[in-house]
Structure 1
Amino acid sequence: MTDLLYILYPWVKSLHIMAVMSWMAGLFYLPRLFVYHVEQAGSVDGASAIFETMEHKLLRFIMAPAMIVAWVCGLLMVFTPGIVDWTMFWPWAKTAGVIGMTWFHHWLGYRRKDFVAGRNSLTGRQYRLMNEVPTLLMVVIVISVIVKF
């Protein structure tokens, strides 16, 4: 099994990077859709349903699969011997960042359900602020992996 993980490592890493890029794109875009949903949907008849469809498809068909692939590939790399040195700080920092990113993904999913149920209580400004969360987590993750402190 170890030999197979070594052979597949460059492919797994490539797939991981592509999945993370797709996931991050969604994590940046969905809160922005929520901003427009809050601020513009009431001014155009039927716009709320259009936003809900866009939000659902982004979360379900792009973000969720990308998150799953990123996690699976990340775990495969973690289980490849010699790749991660758990005595250092960086893998713990990256793990915390990834868990935070996953929490944020699910938080967005709950906010989407609030829109569908007509219970959204957040403003466009609040969604704009939350839109900074994936950026901060990305900084922690990328610096952790590249600098390996």
Structure 2
Amino acid sequence: MLWVKAFHIVFVASWFAGLFYLPRIFVNLALVAPGSLAERDRLLLMARKLLRFTTLLAVPAVGLGLWLWLGYGIGRGPGNGWMHAKLTAVVLALGYHHGCGVLLRRFEAGQNRRSDRWYRWFNEVPVLLLVAAVVLVVVKPF
């Protein structure tokens, strides 16, 4: 079980590293001057590759988490309300990940309507989700 936990933590940390950086690329994409096609294309390529890599990291992170929850019974039974809250944070992180893919497709189609400032705020969401998940797992407040 400790090996599963260790790899779960590694994959979650790696997944979130991608979720931290991808919106930073969106900030730069939102700042690209009209007509700067080479810069835009380079940033889109970076974003596509990072999203693909981040998705590949999310799969084992979620899979190993399910293994710990369902296979070893971690967080099951009475007095484990923290797990329900953590699962909510995970679902929100998956939704955020999906949302990044939607935003990338809009950039690719030239349909971005948001400012760099909006993306700067959007970039804070995974930080809050990770803090919530870690606090819930470590502190187990309820």
Q: Does structure 1 retain, via aligned residues, the 8 Å contact 2:69–2:76?
A: no
Match of 1:124 among 95, 116, 119: 116
- Show the counterpart of 2:7: 15
Q: Who is 2:64 aligned against? A: 73
Q: Is the contact between residue 86 and residue 92 of structure 1 (CA under 8 Å) also seen in structure 2? A: no
Deviation (angstroms), 1:79? 1.6
In the alignment, structure 2 segments of 5+ residues that lack a partner are none
Structure 1: gaps (5+ residues) = 1-8
* Deviation for aligned residue 1:44: 3.6
Does residue 30 of structure 1 match 2:22?
A: yes
TM-score, normalised to structure 1, is 0.89
Please give the per-residue CA displacement for 1:35-91, whole angstroms capped at 9, x wherever unaligned.
01111354744111101100000001x200111010000000002334223432110
Shift of the 41–21 alpha-carbon distance from structure 1 to 2, 3 Å rule, reads farther
What TM-score does the superposition give when structure 2 sets the normalisation length? 0.93
Task: Report the alpha carbon displacement of residue 113 of structure 1 after superposing the two structures with TM.
Answer: 0.2
- Amino acid of the structure 2 residue aligned with 1:76: W
User: Are 2:92 and 1:100 equivalent residues in the alignment?
Assistant: yes
RMSD: 1.4
The sequence identity of aligned pairs, in percent, is 39
Work out whether 1:49 is the aligned partner of 2:41: yes
Contact 1:26 1:59 in 2 (8 A): yes
**How far apart, in 1, do the equivalents of 2:33 and 2:104 lie?**
14
C-alpha change, 1:44 and 1:11, in structure 2 (3 Å) is same
Q: Which of 83, 94, 107 is the matching residue for 1:91?
A: 83
Shift in CA distance, 33/86, structure 1 to aligned 2, threshold 3 Å: farther
